[in-house]
Chain A
Amino acid sequence: MDLFDCIESTRFLGEEWLIWLWYRSEREEGLFTLSDGSQVEFHFDNQLTLEAQLAEAERSRLSGGAPSFSTEAKEALRSGKMVSQAKVRLVRDGREWVMSIVGRSLAISGMKIPAVLTREEDEKFFERQALLEEGDALLRGLFEAFLQVRLDLSAWNEEVDAIRRWTRAGH
């Protein structure tokens, strides 16, 4: 299998990752421990899109307030839809990153980074890149945490059952 096929055949993991983050962030009140032992706060923000897998027209776009807590969002999950895009919030050391993540491509849009403090033009660039990369590293850490569970089939089956119970609990 060439790299292109490997990428295409595992795109669904991005959507599963977002669902797992959603479930875990509610269960753990947004607190995640990364593989280096550090902690990061993660929350779903005010935009959430769920889509049916083979029927793109079947899409639930929820926005405003906290859509991830809504009955509508859990119902969409229960109906088999996956999270195709979510606006999320990451907090570490009092600094906040906000961004929308596309599940299948992991593309990032509308990212907001902590305030750049430097005034000098070149230094501003370096600080901006460093903040971007820090936000990216936090996301990768969360993806790594997901992969650890996802690759352990018995742990993952338990997780999927727990997620199903969680979606029903909101009913």
Chain B
Amino acid sequence: MGAFEGGLSFRTYFVEGEPPNDFHEDYLARIAKNCFVPLHADGEEERRVGWVPLQEPLESEFSRGLVFYNQYLVLGYRVDKWSIPAAIFKAHYGRAMRQRLVGRENVKPSRRERDEVKAEVLGELKRQILPTMKVVDMVWNMAEHTLRFWTHAGALCEEFSELFEETFSLRLVPDASYTSAMRLGLDEAALAALLELDPSRFGDTAVA
């Protein structure tokens, strides 16, 4: 939430490089290639990420009207994962294991057997629940080379950057004091001077 309505908490990035001429179709194909693919109960993956149309996060079809808003490219970064409460898993696993061991109570199950039961139980539970879903808004102003990603979560931001760079073959640079100075047009000498600065102490007794 954030691009169209709701809370405005985000990280800003600068996009290095230019989109190719007539990028619309090319970008739609690139997005589709990296689109979100739902998790399946029988699959081994615990978590999946990918692009979705921000306003239709259950869809995987991308059209110009859903993605491009004048100079803005708008997408949802969807993250799904299986989230089975430990207590529920433990109870179901315990029951399954007891059933498996009927008639041979004094024989300790092998590791392989335990893994088999674990996989069976996880599969059964996954078929009964839905994965948790999170969609993070992304708005890229292609004219200004700036991008907003509506979360502060560090790991998610890193993962998102990787998918963005893989999808669009453009470098994503996080907003920070140094990159902000770059964007303001400081020349090389000023940027070099910035790197030479030491932190100032404002207190009577420095803590650092």
Q: Which of A115-142 contact B (CB under 8 A)?
A: 121-122, 124-126, 128-129, 132-133, 136, 140
One of A38-46, A74-82, A88-96 at the interface: A74-82
Do B180 and A106 have beta carbons less than 8 Å apart?
A: yes
B87 within 8 A of A: no
B8 contact from A17, A77, A132, A168, Cβ within 8 A: A132
Do A151 and B184 have beta carbons less than 8 Å apart?
A: no
Do B195 and A80 have beta carbons less than 8 Å apart?
A: no
Q: Mark B162-179, 1 if CB is under 8 A from A, else 0.
A: 000000000001111111
Do A77 and B207 have beta carbons less than 8 Å apart?
A: no
A25 within 8 A of B: no
Q: Which of A139-157 contact B (CB under 8 A)?
A: 140, 143-144, 147, 150-151, 156
Do A53 and B208 have beta carbons less than 8 Å apart?
A: yes
A19 vs B200: C-alpha distance when bound (angstroms): 11
Report B102 CB to chain A, min CB distance, Å.
54
For A13, the chain B residues whose CB sits under 8 A away are 177-178, 194, 197
* Interface hub of A52, A133, A151 (most chain B Cβ within 10 A): A151
Residue of B nearest to A19 (CB): B202
Report A97 CB to chain B, min CB distance, Å.
10
A110 vs B152: C-alpha distance when bound (angstroms): 11
Report A56 CB to chain B, min CB distance, Å.
11
A71 within 8 A of B: no
A66 within 8 A of B: no
B78 within 8 A of A: no
Q: Mark A3-17, 1 if CB is under 8 A from B, else 0.
A: 100110111111011
Do B208 and A80 have beta carbons less than 8 Å apart?
A: yes
A79 vs B206: C-alpha distance when bound (angstroms): 7
Q: Mark B1-38, 1 if CB is under 8 A from A, else 0.
A: 00110011111100000000000000000000000000
Report A2 CB to chain B, min CB distance, Å.
11
Residue of B nearest to A12 (CB): B199
Report A134 CB to chain B, min CB distance, Å.
12
A111 vs B152: C-alpha distance when bound (angstroms): 13
For A10, the chain B residues whose CB sits under 8 A away are 176-178, 181, 194-195, 197
Residue of A nearest to B180 (CB): A143
For A106, the chain B residues whose CB sits under 8 A away are 12, 175-177, 180
Interface size class, chain A: 35 or more
Do A122 and B69 have beta carbons less than 8 Å apart?
A: yes
Residue of A nearest to B72 (CB): A129
A9 vs B195: C-alpha distance when bound (angstroms): 7
A61 within 8 A of B: no
A80 vs B74: C-alpha distance when bound (angstroms): 43
Do B202 and A132 have beta carbons less than 8 Å apart?
A: no
B141 contact from A109, A133, A156, Cβ within 8 A: A133
Q: Beyond the given A9-B178, A14-B177, A140-B180, could you list 20 further A-B residue pairs with CB under 8 A, ordered by the A residue number? A: A6-B191, A7-B176, A10-B178, A12-B177, A52-B207, A53-B208, A80-B204, A102-B152, A106-B177, A106-B180, A108-B10, A109-B152, A122-B69, A125-B69, A128-B3, A132-B8, A143-B180, A143-B181, A160-B201, A168-B204
Minimum-distance CB pairs A-B, first 4: A80-B203, A80-B207, A111-B8, A53-B208
14 A-B pairs (CB sep. < 8 Å): A10-B178, A16-B200, A17-B177, A52-B207, A53-B199, A53-B208, A54-B207, A55-B207, A106-B177, A108-B10, A112-B8, A125-B69, A129-B3, A163-B202
